[in-house]
Amino acid sequence: MNSQTERVDTRPVNTRTGKPIGPISQPGYYPGFSTLAQQKFWDAKTREVVLDRVINVPEIRFFSQQEARLLEAICDRILPQDDRDESHKIPIVPQIDRRLYENSHDGYRYEDMPPDREAFQLGLRAVEEIAQHEYRLGFLEIGPREQDRILQSLHDGKPSAAHEIWKRMAVHRFWMLLVSDCADAYYSHPWAWDEIGFGGPAYPRAYMRLERGEAEPWESEEKRYQWKAPDSSVSGVFEPVAGQAEHLGSPGQGGTH
């Protein structure tokens, strides 16, 4: 990072107090709620799988060091965690790396996409090329707002450079692949469940309060606060993904009904 970016506050802001939030151990509206605290009520296999995810962060085996550092910077903007303290940041890149190292995928590939491994490597190159084209600096050397603008251009389907790469894969498909992988890593982690108030595993104990959004005796009531994205970011607003017509479909969509 250069000295310019160090001065930029990347934390979200409490709009009532005007003060930045964090870094804290648990953002969200359910302070103190812990799914892991309920683990003795889970079945053995579920406990094993979830604890392994928390404790054993996989080492980087697929990406080069350089690629991993670049992807880290990208993931820090796609799922920013500046409100979380260091010991409670949820690892994203190691999960993506493991998936690609194991060549695990969701059972299909779009005809206009290369295999996921190649897509990630091409995408990383493209992001770096755009940074060089826009700012004559590497992606790691520009500030968070500039980084966001580059990612926003992928979201909007209007990257300013790396056109050779975008001929080999559709921008919006790469964008959704990238965001999906980040979302999978973050929201499969029990700390993220605590943040959003999701009750987590409930076998064999069960849920009993099904209606009116009531909390189980061991869940927490919601305690909302108003907040906004930091000024250093452009990702706090909602705009449709570019090229998203009715026919787009989403990658990694799970079964629902």
Binding mask 154-173 for other proteins (x = CB under 8 A): -x------------------
Question: What SS3 class is residue 47?
Answer: helix
Select 3 or 256, whichever has its Cβ closest to other proteins: 256
E strand or H helix at 227: strand 227-228
User: Does 194 interact with other proteins (rule: CB under 8 A)?
Assistant: no
Supply the minimum distance, in Å, between the C-beta of residue 93 and other proteins: 16
Supply the minimum distance, in Å, between the C-beta of residue 131 and other proteins: 17
The two structure tokens encoding residue 188: 């499969």
Rounded to 5°, the CA angle 179-254-249 comes to: 65
Binding to other proteins, residues 112-141 (CB under 8 A): none
Residue 253: how many CB atoms within 10 A of its CB? 10
Select 50 or 73, whichever has its Cβ closest to other proteins: 50
What DSSP assignment string belongs to 127-172?
Answer: HHHHHHHHHSS-GGGS-HHHHHHHHHHHHTT--SS-HHHHHHS-HH
- Which of residues 7, 19, 208, 217 is near other proteins by CB under 8 A? 208
User: Does 79 interact with other proteins (rule: CB under 8 A)?
Assistant: yes
The phi and psi torsions of 218 (rounded to 5 degrees) equal -100, 0
Contacting range for other proteins; rule: CB under 8 A; set: 58-66, 119-127, 134-142, 234-242: 234-242
Select 66 or 158, whichever has its Cβ closest to other proteins: 158
Contacting range for other proteins; rule: CB under 8 A; set: 15-23, 61-69, 131-139, 238-246: 238-246
CA distance 12 to 229: 5
User: Does 187 interact with other proteins (rule: CB under 8 A)?
Assistant: yes
